[in-house]
Amino acid sequence: MFLLKKTIYLIIALSLSGSIVKITGGLFHSSKALFVDALTCIANIIALIFTTYYYRLSKLPPDIDHPKGHHRYGLGGSIVTLTIYGYVAGVVSVDLIYTREYVVDFNAVYFAISGFILYALSIYLSLRVSRHYRAYGFFTVVELYESSVTIVAVLLGALYYYLIDYVGAIGLTIYLIIGIIRICRETIHTVASEEVYID
């Protein structure tokens, strides 16, 4: 149990570090791909906090109201994650619709690379620690995809034309929406199931 707790704290620390790096890059460098990246980082931190909260709640022993245990509370993390990422998808979609011409700052690539490394470590741990972290792990994989696209988009956008960065941002948003649909289906299936799973 102590090792599990340490692993969860390490996941939180890595995710926070990756988020801070990307948010800093998003605030100080003009890249729509990095903007999408930064917003999903904020959502990622909130999702991680709630996933951890509901995971801990799911480990409570059975009581009068929950004679079979609190295992299904672990789904709370998936539900909150869906809500937060759905909001982010709406915000970035509106921003991309109303975007005007801009200039991409080349330095954004360094922030994307640093964030990529930190999130890769976070994903590896989150996918191994528990089933309840699966939704979080999936959306953190989105962070790696975003970092990869951002690196390429910023490089090409800075060297050639801003529309390359813009198309990268659209790709990230589409991928995010697909992820929301996938996790929504999985969560509905689990909620509808009679089976109570235990990690």
| Cα(81)–Cα(133) distance, integer angstroms | 10
39-71 burial, b at 16+ Cβ within 10 Å, e below that, comes to bbbebbbbbbebbbebbebbbeeeeeeeeeebb
Which regions of the chain are under pLDDT 70? 1-2, 130-136, 138-140, 142-143, 194-199
* Per-residue pLDDT, 183: 87
Residue 137: both structure tokens together: 């792990």
* Per-residue pLDDT, 132: 62
* Per-residue pLDDT, 196: 52
* Per-residue pLDDT, 131: 66
* Residue 34: alpha-carbon gap to chain centroid: 14
| Cα(179)–Cα(141) distance, integer angstroms | 10
DSSP assignment of 45-88 equals HHHHHHHHHHHHHHTSPP-SS-TT-SGGGGHHHHHHHHHHHHHH
* Per-residue pLDDT, 60: 85
Residue 191: both structure tokens together: 């909620």
Q: Is 191 exposed, middle or buried (CB count within 10 Å of its CB: 0-12, 13-18, 19+)?
A: exposed
CATH 2.40.30.10 fits 2-192, yes or no: no
Q: From the CB of residue 197, how many other CB atoms can be counted at a distance below 10 Å?
A: 13
Residues 26-63 pLDDT 10s: 778 878 888 888 888 888 888 888 988 988 888 888 88
Residue 195: both structure tokens together: 């089976």
* Per-residue pLDDT, 119: 83
Residues 6+ away with beta carbon under 8 Å from 84: 43, 46, 47
| Cα(126)–Cα(64) distance, integer angstroms | 32
* Per-residue pLDDT, 197: 53
